[in-house]
Amino acid sequence: MGTRAVLHRGPKTDQIERYTPAERIAHWLTAGTYVYAMATGLGFFTPYMYWLVEIVGGGPTARFWHPIIGLGYVFTNVYLHHQWKSDLKLIPEDRVWLDKVKYYITNEDDLLPEQDRFDAGQKLFYWGMLYCAVILLVTGVVMWFPESIGRSWHWVLPLVVIIHSAAALITIGGLIIHVYMGVFMVPGSVKAMTIGYVSRGWAILHAPLWYKKVANGRTVK
Amino acid sequence: MAGGTLQIKAISGHAGPVAGANTSRDYDVCKLVDTTTCIGCKACEVACVEWNGYPFRPTSFDNTYQTMPNTEWNYWNLIRFDEHENADGTFQWLMRKDQCMHCEDPGCLKACPADGAIVQYSNGIVDFQQEHCIGCQYCVTGCPFDIPKFNQETKKVFKCTLCSDRVNAGLEPACIKSCPTGCLHFGSKDDMLALAQARATQLREHTSHRNAGVYDPEGVGGTHVIYVLHDSSNPEKYGGLPKNPRVPILVQLWKGPLKWLGGLSMMFGVMGVAIHYLRFGPKEAEMKDADIQKEDRNRGN
């Protein structure tokens, strides 16, 4: 009899739960709806990216779903907010971290103040996306039904369109950094957001104060 | 103006020069609406729905002679009716045939994101191609005349075609053909402008309409539908004809600098993070179990 492989249930002993299933589902619903709205929106934004609407079923289909999926994005954002709002509250100490953000960029993290569950950069990204979502919602509803605006208010339409585009571009800037950080710069983050667990080393390096809280009173093997 | 390519260049067995050879013809078209001779009979409205094959749509009565409050997706031509009281106490019925102005610099076309949904022909006609329209209604945003109208059922936008189908066959637009007073004219832009200027001069010199003039707004590069107005100093009183229409400056910003700025920023953003990865690399969290235990002890866990 050789050694038998054993199906492992739950987290390995050296891992801790980073995101609950509900948090992960909320995150990916937000991500999925965002990516659809972004891709179709970019297609509407410039002819050079119009092929993006072709690959999701063509212009009329994309135009039909863009606002509906966009609404879905806003709703999932609300759900995400409901779960994360306390962890993402900006605190005075975040200012210190942001002032020293260059050390984060140059991977000299030991020179940075210790962070809780989310660091100040993540918080800024989150609030930026949330505020932009509100702007996109308000302007998007007007763009959804432009004829409902009376002729005397017609001047609002160009304003609304350009704000919608600018807010979307800001979120795309945030997304580029977010995806880069999650997929490339901080190994272990994709696993954290998919299966939900991180290694102790990950937690100590990236969220030391949070690690102290969650590891408190637990046996460390 | 029809069949431009069929202009005769040489004729067999023909004595002398070919008539009309080596002459350039003016192919840009223009509709002239003389509001001063319009009697508001609405024959042009009927001709428009007849030719384009739309049924007459239900409307509401709002105590004026206007057929309906606004042009609609299947009602492209509307005589706007205004009872206007002048400063000197005199009273005027103003009737203006409202339809697409076929701008030389069309805001609808500038704003449209769908490949091929709006085309401008070299004769000046701006035409919507519904098979390419995605129903986003950006054209509504771009139009300074409130012309494109959305069909909720088909999710497509419609407007006056200047009867591009008739014009292509050498015919005048349906509205022109139906006008009983001759207040509507159709021809080349130069000819129509000359006719309009002559009429405006006549009005100024022989009637009390000292401000009579031609409406051919420069802000949109001129239009291929022009008006003669009794009072060109105040076009607004003719059912809200804008005094100085232009493609909204924000639409120009959106379709110009913002498009380039956005595209370049996205490219540089992706390049930026790629260079960062090559320069600094990932934040690896490599800790041995012993280190973690030490860390935990230090923290008093």
Under an 8 A CB cutoff, do A201 and B113 touch? no
For residue B223, give the DSSP letter: B
- What local confidence, expressed as pLDDT, does residue A9 receive? 67
Q: Which residue has the tokens 């090559």?
A: B278
Among positive and negative, which fits the CA dihedral B95, B99, B102, B106?
A: positive
Q: How confident is the model at residue B66 (pLDDT cuts 50, 70, 90)?
A: very high
Per residue in A80-129, pLDDT (tens digit) is 999 998 899 988 888 999 999 999 999 888 888 888 899 999 999 999 99
Nearest CA in chain A to B144: A154
Per residue in B252-277, pLDDT (tens digit) is 999 999 999 999 999 999 999 999 99
- What local confidence, expressed as pLDDT, does residue B21 receive? 67
What is the assigned CATH class of domain A7-215?
mainly alpha
Per residue in B81-133, pLDDT (tens digit) is 999 998 889 899 999 999 999 999 999 999 999 999 999 999 999 999 999 99
pLDDT above 50 for A221 = no
Which amino acid makes up residue B38?
A: C
Per residue in B7-36, pLDDT (tens digit) is 677 788 787 777 666 655 667 899 999 999
- What local confidence, expressed as pLDDT, does residue A200 receive? 86
Under an 8 A CB cutoff, do A206 and B283 touch? yes
Under an 8 A CB cutoff, do B285 and A204 touch? yes
pLDDT above 50 for B284 = yes
Strand-pairing partners, residue B229, are: B213
pLDDT above 50 for A217 = no
What torsion, rounded to 10 degrees, do the Cα atoms A180, A182, A188, A191 define? -130
- What local confidence, expressed as pLDDT, does residue B1 receive? 44
Query: Among B41, B7, B11, which residue's Cα sits nearest to residue B25?
Result: B7
pLDDT above 70 for B299 = no
For residue B173, give the DSSP letter: P
For A107, the closest of B137, B141, B280 (CB atoms) is: B280
For A46, the closest of B142, B240, B263 (CB atoms) is: B263
Alpha carbon distance B12, B18 (integer Å): 10
3-state secondary structure chain A: CCCCCCCCCCCCCCEEECCCHHHHHHHHHHHHHHHHHHHHHHHHHCHHHCHHHHHCCCHHHHHHHHHHHHHHHHHHHHHHHHHHCCCCCCCHHHHHHHHCHHHHHCCCHHHCCCCCCCCHHHHHHHHHHHHHHHHHHHHHHHHHCHHHCCHHHCCHHHHHHHHHHHHHHHHHHHHHHHHHHHHHHCCCHHHHHHCCEEEHHHHHHHCHHHHHHHHCCCCCC
Phi, psi of B85 (to 5 degrees): -100, 120
The domain segmentation of chain A, as residue ranges, is 7-215
Q: How confident is the model at residue B158 (pLDDT cuts 50, 70, 90)?
A: very high
Nearest CA in chain A to B289: A221
DSSP run (H or E) holding B156: strand B156-158
Which amino acid makes up residue A112?
A: L
Structure tokens, A109? 């993290």
For A:98-137, CB contacts with B below 8 A are: 105-107, 109
- What local confidence, expressed as pLDDT, does residue A1 receive? 53
Task: Look at residue B109 and give its three-state secondary structure.
Answer: helix
For residue B18, give the DSSP letter: P
Q: How confident is the model at residue A220 (pLDDT cuts 50, 70, 90)?
A: very low
DSSP run (H or E) holding B45: helix B43-52
How many residue contacts between A and B have a Cβ separation below 8 Å?
146
For residue B131, give the DSSP letter: G
Nearest CA in chain B to A48: B263
pLDDT above 50 for A219 = no
- What local confidence, expressed as pLDDT, does residue B5 receive? 63
Under an 8 A CB cutoff, do A204 and B273 touch? no
Nearest CA in chain B to A53: B114
pLDDT above 90 for A42 = yes
Of B12-21, B163-172, B197-206, B267-276, the one with minimum mean pLDDT is B12-21
Phi, psi of A14 (to 5 degrees): -95, 15
Contacts of A157 in chain B (CB under 8 A): 140-141, 248
Q: How confident is the model at residue B298 (pLDDT cuts 50, 70, 90)?
A: low
Alpha carbon distance B226, B223 (integer Å): 6
